[in-house]
Amino acid sequence: MFRSFLVMSDAYLALEDGRVVEARGRAPGRTRGELVFTTAYTGYEESLTDPSYEEQVLTFSYPLIGNYGVRAERFESDRVHPRAAVAREFTDEVVSWLAEEGIPAVDHLDTRDLVTSIREEGAMKVGIAAGEDATPEDAKAELAKCKGMSDHVDIGAQVSTPELTTFEGDGDTTVALVDCGAKQSIADSLVERGATVHVLPYDASAEDVSALEPDVLFISNGPGDPKNYTATRELVEDFAGEIPLAGICLGQQIVASALGGTTEKMAFGHRGVNQPVRDLQTGKVVMTTQNHGYTVADPGEHLDVTQINVNDDTAEGLESEELDVITRQYHPEAHPGPHDSLGFFDDVLSMSDSAGNGRKRRIIAD
């Protein structure tokens, strides 16, 4: 499937804390980004093609990445999104894939030390240089270019669909999915339940949404700071109380901020497939897939926290019965990960059955 890429070379990672880490270059290049880690030990294809990793450097804590090959049918988008990939060891097939995508890949370093540093100091910027002529100075020069990356306000344009795309289901429900960096499996999960899904750009207008006459407005996952998705937040403000609203990951953060809540950046985020979430009503704990660096700090007066993370009590589920809103900070569609929370999509589609036409009164101030 991929051309052989077995060249070994020098590689260097210049960290924001001042260290320079030596590694083995497997796919060459110069790049920089936010250094984050995932604890997932499977699903590397899905992780590498998840748009939520845009502009980040993804470190795998599991030591061997690529032991079951690379298959395009498992991809969550049409390209690799992290700016670079780091592992204790990559297989040749993964390296060949990343090289063809133009993504630097480095291995043969102590990823345990990197993960520990991120957990203790927080996510940090990193510059990477890999190749036969790579030097520590090259990596430091890349790190110096990181200034201002956190202020990147148009990151949604890099990951969103450029135009309306429709996936037909065999039922009666219509979902307008606003693509802030949506994983393909979100649309697939809705279509499998009979919904017709219209995928819209992240900066779609209220008129674009209204023209579809959707039963549910769904805000997707995506990369970056939720405050930078102004147009998407305005959609939530426009339609809250008019049609049911749902959101996943970044979508939860955008919905909360549009309805009076606040968000904040986490120290190192949640990224992996073993995050425990407790439902506050039932007490049940499920394992979930997560990939986010921001969280809802305060849901505001219109939303109730219904689920929390067992490890740090952050908000994992928000709901409003009065406004027909349901959101999740984790990824119910998994891919990769446990399927404990797939019922979320049934809950979302059931809102369209109970909402009625014009029954919900608008309570969000214009």
Marked catalytic residue, from 89, 146, 333, 335: 333
DSSP state of 357: S
CATH number given to 9-150: 3.50.30.20
* Residue 222 among known ligand-binding residues: yes
- Summarize pLDDT for 170-225 with one digit per residue, the tens: 999 999 999 999 999 999 999 999 999 999 999 999 999 999 999 999 999 999 99
Region for residue 180 given its phi and psi (left: phi exceeds 0; alpha: psi -120 to 50; beta: otherwise) = alpha
Does residue 1 surpass a pLDDT of 60? no
333 annotated active-site = yes
- Summarize pLDDT for 69-111 with one digit per residue, the tens: 999 999 999 999 999 999 999 999 999 999 999 999 999 999 9
331 annotated active-site = yes
Q: How is residue 218 written in tokens?
A: 């769904």
Q: How is residue 312 written in tokens?
A: 């740090």
Listed by start position, the domains of the chain span 9-150, 155-355
- Summarize pLDDT for 252-292 with one digit per residue, the tens: 999 999 999 999 999 999 999 999 999 999 999 999 999 99
What pLDDT score does 9 carry?
Answer: 74
CB 290 within 8 A of CB 270: yes
- Summarize pLDDT for 129-141 with one digit per residue, the tens: 999 999 999 999 9
CATH number (3.30.1600.10, 3.40.50.1970, 3.40.50.880, 3.30.465.10) of 155-355 reads 3.40.50.880
Q: How is residue 187 written in tokens?
A: 């649309």
* Residue 12 among known ligand-binding residues: no
The 10 Å Cβ neighbour count of residue 265 is 14
**% residues pLDDT > 90 (the chain):** 89
Candidates 48, 47, 46, 41; CA nearest to 27 is 48
As a three-state string, the secondary structure of 16-51 is: CCCCEEEEEEEECEEEEEEEEEECCCCCHHHHHCCH
* Residue 148 among known ligand-binding residues: no
CB 249 within 8 A of CB 330: yes
Q: Is the dihedral of CA 117, 181, 88, 11 positive or negative?
A: negative
pTM: 0.93
What pLDDT score does 149 carry?
Answer: 61
* Residue 25 among known ligand-binding residues: no
Distances (CA, A) of 24 to 94, 96, 98, 348: 15, 15, 15, 46
What pLDDT score does 147 carry?
Answer: 74
Name the pairing type of β-strands 64-65 and 89-90: parallel
- Summarize pLDDT for 17-69 with one digit per residue, the tens: 999 999 999 999 999 999 999 999 999 999 999 999 999 999 999 999 999 99
What pLDDT score does 150 carry?
Answer: 57
What pLDDT score does 148 carry?
Answer: 59
Marked catalytic residue, from 34, 54, 55, 249: 249
* Residue 357 among known ligand-binding residues: no
Does residue 366 surpass a pLDDT of 80? no
> Can you point out the beta strands (E) in the chain?
9-15, 20-27, 29-38, 56-60, 64-65, 84-86, 89-90, 105-107, 124-131, 165-167, 174-179, 196-201, 216-219, 245-248, 262-279, 285-298, 304-309, 315-320, 325-328
Cα of first residue to Cα of last residue in the chain, in angstroms, is 54
User: 336 preceded by cis ω (within 30°)?
Assistant: yes
What pLDDT score does 358 carry?
Answer: 40
Does residue 115 surpass a pLDDT of 90? yes
What band does 154 get if pLDDT is binned at 50, 70 and 90?
confident
